[in-house]
Structure 1
Amino acid sequence: MPLTRTDVDGAIRDAGLRVTESRRAVFDALQEHPHASAEDIHAVVRQRVESTSLQSVYNALGDFAAAGLVRRIEPAGHPMLFELRVDDNHHHLVCTRCGAVEDVDCATGHAPCLVPSDAHGYRVAVAEVTYWGLCASCAADET
């Protein structure tokens, strides 16, 4: 369920950031389009705030990522994607044909979800797992 205007403004302020029209529009676009690229977000934001540049979208996303409001994911061979689901250590499914991305909960156990066979002295905090394959729609097209 999307956050209200008051909740969005509060989340931005709580992250130590100033609320601006473009930041609010970027946050709203991410609520509507999880796993979106900066370019995709810019296209949505421009419909609401015509003067918003791609650079200002990148700036907002960078500020949000640094403040922990968004998570940046970088599937190999795909543009950097952003999402608001930051409160857990979930993973992703990526379609090798159409590029669709879906969230998938932790693979096993407690965060960081996967335990390396040899941590080499590291204290592991996060595990990033990407499952690659065909989404249901692309798989159906093959039959």
Structure 2
Amino acid sequence: MTPNAPNGTHAVGTNDPRERLRTAGLRVTRPRLAVLRWLTRHPHATADQVATAVRRQLGSVSTQAIYNVLNACSGAGLLRRIEPAGHPARFETRTADNHHHLVCRRCGRTEDVDCVYGAAPCLSPSTTHGYAVDEAEVVFWGYCPDCRSSATAPEDPSHHHEEGRS
């Protein structure tokens, strides 16, 4: 993994989805191509958002087929699945670095945050318990600009100290 890699960086060295699928050992299918292309332009999308977009493009595609594509591509390292607590899983094509995420507590909007300190992993645990640590996953929680501007957003984030999150 490469720290501080630019947006859109992929684990497989090409941006061409056909070549990425072949290199990962996956068959090139219309649903797989549609999913990869759409997620490249719309990172952090949920499975439902992907399904809606792919159906608009290809017509009838089952929800199970979309989940199969997402799982196969995630398993092959073509997609990264992130699971912010209390929000649906989201998928992105940026897989070749150790970046992190900002997640809005209210709407779930998710943004990338580059790893800015040292080599991957950015953080070192106080003890490894014998593990060979090669990645750190960090989620920063808060309120996006749109939710902050709404009348009901709290002004002071210290009001939302939940166990394990601040």
Q: TM-score, normalised by structure 1?
A: 0.91
Alignment of 1:96-135 (within 5 A): 96-135=105-144
Consecutive unaligned residues in structure 2, runs of 5 or more:
1-6, 9-14, 156-166
Comparing both chains, which one has the higher relative contact order based on Cα–Cα distances under 8 Å and sequence gaps of 6 or more? 2
Q: Which runs of 4+ in 1 moved over 3 A?
A: none
Question: Which has a greater percent of helix?
Answer: 1
Partner of 2:28: 19
Which amino acid in the other structure matches residue 44 of structure 1?
A
Partner of 2:81: 72
Partner of 2:97: 88
Consecutive unaligned residues in structure 1, runs of 5 or more:
none
Query: How many Å apart are 1:31 and its aligned residue?
Result: 1.3
Query: How many Å apart are 1:107 and its aligned residue?
Result: 4.9
After superposition, what is the alpha-carbon deviation per residue over 1:31-51, rounded to whole angstroms, capped at 9, x for unaligned? Answer: 121001111100000001112
Partner of 2:54: 45
After superposition, what is the alpha-carbon deviation per residue over 1:108-136, rounded to whole angstroms, capped at 9, x for unaligned? Answer: 22101100111112110111100000112
Distance in structure 2 (CA, Å) of the matches to 1:133 and 1:40: 23
Distance in structure 1 (CA, Å) of the matches to 2:36 and 2:119: 29
Distance in structure 2 (CA, Å) of the matches to 1:16 and 1:35: 24
Distance in structure 1 (CA, Å) of the matches to 2:81 and 2:116: 19
After superposition, what is the alpha-carbon deviation per residue over 1:7-62, rounded to whole angstroms, capped at 9, x for unaligned? Answer: 11111111111101111111111112100111110000000111211111110111
Which amino acid in the other structure matches residue 75 of structure 2?
A
Which amino acid in the other structure matches residue 71 of structure 1?
R
Q: 1:107 to 1:75 in 2, by over 3 A?
A: farther
2:112 aligns to what SS in structure 1?
Answer: strand
Distance in structure 2 (CA, Å) of the matches to 1:73 and 1:89: 13
Would you say 1:141 and 2:150 are equivalent positions? yes
Distance in structure 1 (CA, Å) of the matches to 2:26 and 2:131: 32
Would you say 1:58 and 2:41 are equivalent positions? no
Distance in structure 1 (CA, Å) of the matches to 2:143 and 2:81: 22
After superposition, what is the alpha-carbon deviation per residue over 1:57-113, rounded to whole angstroms, capped at 9, x for unaligned? Answer: 110111101110000100000111100000101000000111100000115221011
Aligned length: 140
